[in-house]
Chain A
């Protein structure tokens, strides 16, 4: 299908992008890599009057080391994430999850920031950013603000981004001494996750000193499995601890039922995948 008509602009710096959005009003839409937006435009689920293409804004691209954190430009493509040595070294969880996003062609164009701003509850990267306790840097006509991952995601395809605002970068704290894993279950190759689990674990002297567990597609936005985290905190790093803690994976979740999985099946998957993810991350 062919999208509804819209105007188009391709600014070359962030200030011009924010200005273009402000000028165009509420019916403007940012396009990053377009790999989620283009299908929505074609099916006319979205019909913005103006597209502001961030593809020409070089300052939004790339990964840099900022001491205790990495700063990932929102327009960094999935493909660039996978090739980036800083990501491999300091945020391997992002690389691991990104490798499972869609296919090569989509990863060549799709962006880290675009995936997060799109906020599909079945998307892999929102729960990863949640587990890593990333901070979202946002620019708008009214200035800049920083929002923690726990507040960025609001609901299905909805974030705190206001019309006129642009997600510019994502600040991801390095987690020295932690190990991480992303576990995902899909019906068929290339399908969206029925359920995904992102974990980060810090072990100390045979116990789990700290654990973070964030779930994909277990609610209308990423959800932290606090009951699992609490059960693991200070627990001995054994398979028994993992199993009993993982049984609580769905306690704080509100999964939906759809033609591909019932809510009960998703709850079951969450417990199994959480145990597997914790095991793979070396929590026992």
Chain B
């Protein structure tokens, strides 16, 4: 057993794990984060995508011990404390960007990762950015639309924060832009 400490969706967990434990199994079976699903188990499908240190990874292809000391965000950590959906979640809902829904957690996390780097992707850039995520229902059209809608709404949100009232302190503005 190896002692690890990991912050998942804002909460720090200390656990003893077997070194062979996959991150996805640790998240699901130890921490109860069952929103992250196992799809293919072969590093192909991307259903298990989470953010590790802020960047998208396939949690079936990382050992829990490798994530020791790191920050993990799962699909369960995206919504606000009041339950308000993340813009990407909301766009998937409103655009009906799913059929069976199994790939959705991974698609959403991969989209969040992509938009953090490219806030205004073209259709092609979305498709390329999500190439590591497979939808077995082949419902890609609405997924691409959802990611673009989310990008639009996130840019509007950022702009609104930047254009915040003049009385807002510089620190508050900076914080608004980076979060």
Assess A105 versus B20: contact at CB under 8 Å? Given A8-B2, A53-B66, A190-B132: no
A4 contacts B20, C-beta separation under 8 Å: yes
Given A6-B20, A103-B46, A109-B62, A1:B132 Cβ within 8 A: no
Compute how far the CA of A103 lies from the CA of B46 in the bound complex, rounded to whole angstroms.
10
User: Which residue of chain B has its CB nearest to the CB of A55?
Assistant: B66
Complex Cα–Cα for A104 and B58 (A): 10
- B173 adjacent to chain A (CB < 8 Å): no
Asked if B61 and A8 make an inter-chain contact with CB atoms under 8 angstroms apart, the answer reads no
Query: For chain B residues 17-33, which have a beta carbon within 8 Å of chain A?
Result: 18-20, 22, 25
Query: Using a Cβ–Cβ cut-off of 8 Å, how many residues does chain A contribute to the interface with B?
Result: 30
C-alpha spacing A43/B55, complex, angstroms? 26
A35 touches B61 (CB 8 A): yes
Query: Roughly how many angstroms separate A43 CA and B44 CA in the complex, as a whole number?
Result: 14
Interface residue? A79 (CB, 8 A): yes
A4 to B63, CA, bound (A): 13
B113 at interface, CB cutoff 8 A: yes
Contacts of A1 on B, CB cut-off 8 Å?
A: 41
Q: How far is the CA of A106 from the CA of B132 in the complex (A)?
A: 8
The answer, yes or no, to whether A10 is at the interface (CB within 8 Å) is yes
Residues of B within 8 A of A (CB): 2, 18-20, 22, 25, 41-44, 46, 49, 52, 55-58, 60-63, 65-66, 68, 110, 113-114, 129, 131-133
Interface residues of A (CB under 8 A from B): 1-8, 10, 31, 34-35, 38-39, 41-43, 51, 53, 55, 79, 102-106, 108-109, 189-190
